[in-house]
């Protein structure tokens, strides 16, 4: 579209201007929400946010809630926290339902179950649906329409029974106290209208000052996430209306590291993110590793910068490794609808990781590279390593899903890889041995 770059520039400018006066806009949002009948809670971190939502559920005597797809609730581990209080949180987005029933983890921001094929989904439904509620229909096949129908029947009972719903928000309009959820399946609309109590967990960076600002993002988000001119379902709500929809509304405004990210002059641009997943779809590293390898709710290029910014550098090795999960090709910046310069932030975070570990013990990756250098620099040592790979081909391989042969479990440090990905089976002989045999 001709005005795409203008839209990107506008989206970035709106986000940056909002972040510069974030405290003012949040207070405006709080006042407007309370004027509409909502109760506003402030949560410093994941523990506080989970405690607030759990207390609301227990105060209303509910033992289950239905959920709209929300990255923020996954970020704070809300489902697990509610389970500790005897409250079951049911995912209602189709892909999230697949992940939940399969006791799995999301691998993509927009399509959490993208790593599952339809045969696997059918088996998950047939095996797990009965324990979670309505069982899968007899004779269920892997036809997508049948799978969607089975999920629809399974979820409808939960929608009609639930007394409380939990949602996130794609945007929060400060001037009117309006929360906005955009989705494609209609499950969000059911969650936002049927239950008596609605709790919305909103990251503080989701605020936009005006409806005119929202208009820009409602053009950017669907084009970047699903390639559509507009989302099938755009739900907005501004407080409580007697006799219509939820009669009690709570909004939890979540920090959980966002003010830390805001204080980073280079990294704060990550808070522009509107969770479209466009950067994942063009990233060569994500394409090869998948989402699980990132070890976080936020995978891909945006996760490689957002996780260290929210948690802080030097907290754990997994987080510190993420800024290196990139070739710095720049495709993510070209695709980002709000012009987050992810390569710039990655380089910035790498320097912070180096500074944080300066003078400390060597990292496993550094030891591995030194070891590889020692092996590769000597022909005899390289030959011994090649013969070792031949033994692995003979004794260590197994048949993987799809009929491929490979290694699914290795001892440490190889387990750091195989815990998230299978390793292709090594060749029967090395290239050098094959060449000599010719």
In sequence order, the 6+-apart residues with CB closer than 8 A to the CB of 199 are 53, 56, 65, 164, 165, 166, 167, 249, 250, 251, 252
Return the residue matching tokens 């509610």. 82
Return the residue matching tokens 């050098």. 432
Mean pLDDT of 223-231: 92
In sequence order, the 6+-apart residues with CB closer than 8 A to the CB of 204 are 22, 26, 253, 254, 255, 258, 259
Query: Are residues 350 and 323 in contact, defined by beta-carbon separation less than 8 angstroms?
Result: yes
Say what the pLDDT of residue 1 is. 54
Residue 437 pLDDT > 80, yes or no?
A: yes
Query: Are residues 274 and 221 in contact, defined by beta-carbon separation less than 8 angstroms?
Result: yes
- Condensed to tens digits (0 to 9), the pLDDT of residues 53-76 reads 999 999 999 999 999 999 999 999
Mean pLDDT of 107-118: 96
Say what the pLDDT of residue 403 is. 61
Which pLDDT band, with edges at 50, 70 and 90, does 322 fall under? very high
Say what the pLDDT of residue 129 is. 97
- Cα 311 to chain centroid distance, Å, stands at 15
Say what the pLDDT of residue 427 is. 77
Please name which of 33, 183, 193 lies closest in space to residue 93, comparing C-alpha atoms. Answer: 183
Which pLDDT band, with edges at 50, 70 and 90, does 402 fall under? low
State how far the Cα of 153 lies from the Cα of 301, in Å rounded to an integer: 36
| CATH class as words, domain 260-357 | mainly alpha
Percent of the chain with pLDDT over 90: 79
State how far the Cα of 423 lies from the Cα of 414, in Å rounded to an integer: 9
Mean pLDDT of 116-133: 96
φ, ψ of residue 381 to 5 degrees: the values are -65, -40
Specify the DSSP element, H or E, that contains 407. strand 405-407
Q: How many helices (H) and strands (E) does the chain have?
A: 21, 13
Mean pLDDT of 162-184: 98
Query: Are residues 255 and 46 in contact, defined by beta-carbon separation less than 8 angstroms?
Result: no
Query: Are residues 325 and 306 in contact, defined by beta-carbon separation less than 8 angstroms?
Result: no
Please name which of 105, 424, 422 lies closest in space to residue 295, comparing C-alpha atoms. Answer: 105
Residue 401 pLDDT > 70, yes or no?
A: no
Return the residue matching tokens 């390793």. 423
Residue 306 pLDDT > 70, yes or no?
A: yes
Question: Which strands, in side-by-side order, build the sheet including 64-67?
Answer: 39-43, 248-254, 197-203, 164-167, 64-67, 88-91
Which pLDDT band, with edges at 50, 70 and 90, does 396 fall under? low
Residue 409 pLDDT > 80, yes or no?
A: no
- Condensed to tens digits (0 to 9), the pLDDT of residues 343-384 reads 999 999 999 999 998 877 777 777 888 888 999 899 889 888
State how far the Cα of 144 lies from the Cα of 354, in Å rounded to an integer: 48
Q: Which CATH number fits domain 2-256: 3.30.300.30, 2.40.110.10, 1.10.10.60, 3.40.50.10420?
A: 3.40.50.10420
Mean pLDDT of 333-344: 98
Say what the pLDDT of residue 365 is. 73
Say what the pLDDT of residue 214 is. 98
Mean pLDDT of 287-295: 93
Q: Any idea where the domains of the chain sit in the sequence?
A: 2-256, 260-357, 366-437
Query: Are residues 72 and 168 in contact, defined by beta-carbon separation less than 8 angstroms?
Result: yes
Which pLDDT band, with edges at 50, 70 and 90, does 404 fall under? low
Residue 229 pLDDT > 60, yes or no?
A: yes
Percent of the chain with pLDDT over 70: 96
366 or 264: which leads in pLDDT: 264
State how far the Cα of 229 lies from the Cα of 214, in Å rounded to an integer: 15
Least confident of 197-206, 284-293, 427-436: 427-436
401 or 235: which leads in pLDDT: 235
Neighbours of 253 (CB within 10 A): 22
Say what the pLDDT of residue 7 is. 96
Q: To 5 degrees, how large is the angle CA 321–CA 324–CA 325?
A: 95
Residue 17 pLDDT > 90, yes or no?
A: yes
279 or 383: which leads in pLDDT: 279
The per-residue pLDDT of the chain, averaged, comes to: 93
Return the residue matching tokens 């033992």. 63
């Amino acid at each position: 579209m001709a005005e795409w770059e203008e839209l990107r520039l506008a989206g970035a400018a709106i986000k940056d201007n909002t972040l510069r006066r974030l405290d003012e806009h949040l207070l405006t949002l709080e006042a407007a929400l309370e004027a509409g009948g909502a109760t506003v809670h402030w949560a410093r971190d994941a523990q506080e946010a989970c405690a607030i939502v759990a207390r609301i559920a227990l105060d209303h005597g509910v033992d289950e809630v239905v959920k709209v797809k929300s990255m923020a609730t996954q970020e704070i581990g809300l489902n697990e926290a509610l389970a500790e209080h005897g409250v079951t949180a049911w995912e209602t987005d189709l892909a999230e339902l697949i992940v939940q029933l399969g006791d799995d983890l999301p691998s993509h921001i927009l399509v959490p179950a993208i790593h599952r094929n339809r045969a696997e989904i059918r088996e998950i439904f047939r095996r797990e649906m009965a324990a979670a509620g309505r069982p899968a229909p007899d004779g269920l096949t892997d036809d997508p329409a049948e799978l969607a129908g089975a999920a629809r029947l399974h979820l409808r009972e939960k929608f009609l029974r639930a007394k409380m719903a939990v949602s996130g928000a794609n945007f929060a309009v400060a001037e009117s106290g309006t929360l906005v959820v955009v989705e494609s399946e209609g499950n969000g609309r059911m969650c936002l209208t049927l239950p008596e109590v609605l709790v919305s967990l909103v990251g503080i960076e989701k605020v936009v000052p005006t409806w005119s600002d929202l208009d820009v993002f409602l053009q950017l988000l669907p084009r970047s996430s699903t390639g559509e001119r507009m989302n099938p379902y755009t739900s907005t709500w501004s407080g409580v209306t007697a006799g219509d929809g939820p009669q009690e509304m709570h909004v939890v405004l979540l920090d959980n590291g966002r003010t830390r990210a805001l204080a980073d002059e280079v990294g704060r641009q990550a808070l522009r993110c509107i969770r479209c997943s466009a950067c994942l779809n063009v990233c060569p590293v994500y394409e090869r590793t998948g989402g699980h390898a990132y070890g976080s709710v936020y995978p891909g290029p945006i996760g490689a910068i957002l996780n260290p910014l929210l948690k802080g550098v030097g907290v754990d090795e997994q987080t510190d490794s993420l800024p290196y999960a990139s070739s710095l090709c720049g495709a993510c910046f070209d695709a980002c609808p709000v012009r987050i310069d992810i390569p710039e932030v990655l380089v910035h975070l790498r320097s912070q990781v180096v500074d944080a570990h300066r003078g400390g013990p060597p990292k496993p990756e550094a030891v591995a590279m030194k070891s590889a250098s020692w092996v590769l620099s000597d022909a005899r040592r390289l030959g011994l390593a090649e013969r070792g790979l031949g033994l692995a081909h003979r004794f260590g391989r197994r048949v993987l899903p799809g009929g491929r042969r490979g290694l699914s479990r290795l001892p440490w440090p190889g387990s750091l890889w195989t815990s998230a990905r299978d390793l292709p089976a090594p060749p029967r002989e090395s290239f050098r041995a094959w060449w000599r045999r010719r």
